[in-house]
């Protein structure tokens, strides 16, 4: 009897661990597929922290989609008990690698959070390590006793589930790249009143601004007042450290004009519709959508609507490059690089505000034209009471 009880307890333990692993992998893969560009940005952080050589965004975006597919598929295989031995082996190997990587992250602290669950669940590096240790223990148990995992489906149904899972996760990731994340866990989701969440501050926040460049493995750190380095240096990021405590609900949203004056409230408290064209990097932005961008700008200009092109760096060379390649006629404003990437996924991306409320967001793949703005999205010209 004690042996039977012990065996039954082991079976329960193995299958509880199996369900824990399945749930974690499915959730992790799904949130990565929900926001592939967010995963790409996190991969960029890892690459920048571990290597002086940058990798192409297209390659990293492909890695983000493949990682989402891998995790989601492993989760589905584990959940249904498909190919138990092989699946348990792959899961264990993956958890060993991730746990070692997390130990490095805790020790070296190259990034503030691992990005395992995207913006849906942000964990500290220490919490991530604890989570991975638990999952590693679960993976060891399920690998050691893989035969005790319940098998819910037969060989014919197995291929159907695999096919459906493949089509779903890849299709979902592609859709979210084109049309923005379906589930928006960021502080700039559609319906957010930016007047309440951003502009409710006690005074204008002050920041120490540092602009980072890189060349041949060397880093150059400049202030906002310094002149830009020559074209052989590559822009990396803009770091802004608060000099005094503020009460903004969304960390670092601000907009500066060419004279370094804060015009955030001018934008947020403008009446009617306002377009924000978000371009984190003018030199890396997709020029394939520029005809529609220019059409939106012309629409805004014709009807007295606000239109602000916001980028991460007041770089005259980059602005000249963009103007020459796109025929842009609008002015440029600046904001924090990371915040711009958080507001809307896409380079460029377009955000529509109405009385300070985010009403629509578009990526570079689904930019609207004038007909879309008036007929599909209901932007009425008689509501155009604000001018840039």
pLDDT given for residue 238 in this prediction: 75
The answer to whether 316 and 234 have CB atoms below 8 angstroms apart is: no
pLDDT given for residue 387 in this prediction: 41
The C-alpha atoms of residue 311 and residue 187 are separated, in whole angstroms, by: 19
Q: Which are the contacts of 1, defined by CB distance < 8 A and separation ≥ 6?
A: none
Q: Where are the beta strands (DSSP E) in 189-312?
A: 207-215, 218-223, 234-242, 273-279, 306-311
Give Cα separations from 387 to 102, 197, 257, 311 (angstroms): 50, 23, 16, 21
Closest alpha carbon to 132 in 208, 276, 28, 45: 28
In terms of phi and psi (left: phi > 0; alpha: psi -120 to 50; beta: otherwise), the region of 218 is beta
386 or 334: whose pLDDT is higher?
Answer: 334
Q: Which are the contacts of 40, defined by CB distance < 8 A and separation ≥ 6?
A: 57, 60, 61, 63, 64
Q: How does pLDDT run across 160-202, given as a tens digit for each residue?
A: 888 999 999 999 999 999 999 999 999 899 999 998 887 544 3
- Say whether pTM exceeds 0.75: yes
Give Cα separations from 8 to 4, 137, 142 (angstroms): 6, 19, 15
Q: Is 248 helix (H, G, I), strand (E, B) or coil?
A: coil
Write down the domain spans for the chain: 2-179, 194-200+253-383
The answer to whether 227 and 211 have CB atoms below 8 angstroms apart is: no
- Identify the bridge partners of residue 354 per DSSP, sorted by sequence position: 273, 357
Q: How does pLDDT run across 222-278, given as a tens digit for each residue?
A: 776 677 787 787 877 777 665 554 434 344 688 999 888 899 999 999 999 999 999
pLDDT band at 365 (very low <50, low <70, confident <90, very high): very high
CB-count burial class (<10 Å; 0-12, 13-18, 19+) for 288:
exposed
Classified by CATH at the fold level, domain 194-200+253-383 comes out as Glutaredoxin (3.40.30)
The yes-or-no verdict on residue 212 having pLDDT over 90 is no
HSE-CB of 104 using CA atoms within 13 angstroms: 10
pLDDT given for residue 152 in this prediction: 77
Strands across the sheet with 207-215, in order?
A: 218-223, 207-215, 234-242
Q: How does pLDDT run across 94-153, given as a tens digit for each residue?
A: 999 999 999 988 988 887 778 889 888 888 889 999 999 999 999 999 999 999 998 878
pLDDT given for residue 207 in this prediction: 62
The C-alpha atoms of residue 31 and residue 115 are separated, in whole angstroms, by: 10
Q: Phi then psi for 246, rounded to 5 degrees?
A: -120, 175
């Amino acid at each position: 009897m004690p042996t039977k009880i012990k065996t039954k307890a082991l079976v329960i333990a193995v299958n509880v661990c199996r369900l824990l692993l399945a749930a974690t992998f499915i959730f992790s893969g799904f949130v990565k597929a929900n926001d592939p560009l967010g995963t790409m940005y996190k991969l960029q952080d890892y690459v920048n922290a571990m290597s002086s050589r940058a990798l192409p965004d297209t390659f990293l975006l492909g890695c983000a989609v493949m990682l989402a597919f891998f995790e989601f598929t492993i989760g589905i295989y584990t959940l249904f008990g498909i190919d138990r031995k092989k699946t348990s082996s792959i899961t264990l190997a993956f958890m060993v690698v991730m746990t070692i990587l997390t130990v490095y992250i805790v020790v070296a602290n190259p990034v503030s959070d691992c990005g395992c669950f995207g913006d849906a669940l942000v964990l500290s590096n220490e919490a991530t390590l604890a989570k991975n240790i638990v999952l590693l223990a679960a993976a060891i148990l399920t690998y050691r006793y893989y035969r005790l995992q319940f098998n819910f489906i037969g060989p014919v149904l197995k291929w159907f589930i695999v096919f459906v899972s493949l089509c779903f996760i890849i299709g979902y990731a592609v859709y979210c790249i084109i049309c923005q994340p379906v589930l928006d866990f960021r502080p700039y989701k559609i319906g957010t009143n930016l007047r309440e969440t951003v502009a409710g501050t006690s005074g204008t926040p002050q920041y120490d601004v540092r602009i980072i460049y890189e060349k041949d493995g060397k880093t150059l750190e400049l202030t906002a007042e310094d002149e830009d380095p020559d074209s052989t240096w590559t822009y990396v990021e803009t770091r802004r450290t608060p000099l005094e405590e503020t009460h903004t609900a969304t960390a670092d949203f601000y907009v500066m004009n060419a004279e370094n004056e804060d015009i955030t409230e001018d934008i947020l408290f403008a009446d009617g519709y306002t377009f924000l064209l978000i371009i984190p990097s003018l030199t890396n932005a997709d020029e394939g959508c520029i005809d529609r961008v220019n059409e939106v700008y012309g629409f805004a200009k014709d009807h007295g609507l606000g239109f602000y092109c916001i980028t991460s760096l007041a770089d005259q060379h980059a602005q000249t490059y963009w103007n020459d390649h796109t025929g842009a006629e609008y002015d440029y404003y600046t904001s924090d690089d990371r915040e711009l990437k958080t507001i809307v996924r896409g380079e460029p991306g377009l955000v529509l505000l109405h009385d300070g409320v985010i009403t629509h967001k578009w990526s570079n793949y689904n930019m609207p034209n004038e007909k879309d703005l008036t007929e599909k999205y209901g932007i009425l010209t008689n509501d155009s009471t604000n001018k840039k």
